[in-house]
Structure 1
Amino acid sequence: MGKDDVYEAYKATLGAKIIASHMEAVNHWTLSREELKNFINEKGISSNVLVPDDGESYSL
């Protein structure tokens, strides 16, 4: 999924928490964590789209 796909998923599931994982693995390197974090901040959806760092976990 690219950043636009993440945004479409957000719009389709308003109110849901989306956790974007497996970032920066060899087979997913077309979109970095930093790029996705910047994108979701620009769109104002950072409270619903979470981008964990390696080893980070969430309690929802």
Structure 2
Amino acid sequence: MGKDDVYEVVKVAPDAKIIAVHMEAVNHWGLSREELKSFIEEKGISSNVLVPDDGESYTF
């Protein structure tokens, strides 16, 4: 998924929490964490999309 795909998911499921994982893997790196973080801030969807750093976890 690209950043525009993430945005489309948020629009379709506005109450969902999206966790972007498997970022920056060598075999398919097309979108960096920093680029995605900037994009979600720009679109105002940072409460819907979480972009964890390596080793980071969330508890809900």
Q: Which bracket does the TM-score occupy, shorter chain normalised?
A: over 0.9
Count of residues in Structure 1 that have an aligned counterpart in Structure 2: 60
Deviation of 1:26 after TM superposition, in Å, equals 1.4
How well do the aligned residues superpose, as a CA RMSD in angstroms? 0.7
Q: Could you tell me the percent identity over the aligned residues?
A: 80
Which residue of 2 is the match for residue 33 of structure 1?
A: 33
Which residue of 2 is the match for residue 47 of structure 1?
A: 47
Query: Is the aligned partner of 1:20 residue 2:20?
Result: yes
Task: State the TM-score, normalizing by the size of structure 2.
Answer: 0.95
Q: What stretches of structure 2 of length at least 5 have no aligned partner?
A: none
Give the whole-Å Cα distance in 1 for the aligned partners of 2:58 and 2:9.
20
Give the whole-Å Cα distance in 1 for the aligned partners of 2:59 and 2:10.
19
Give the whole-Å Cα distance in 2 for the aligned partners of 1:38 and 1:26.
21
Q: Which runs of 4+ in 1 moved over 2 A?
A: none
The one-letter amino acid paired with 1:29 is W
Q: What stretches of structure 1 of length at least 5 have no aligned partner?
A: none
Task: State the TM-score, normalizing by the size of structure 1.
Answer: 0.95
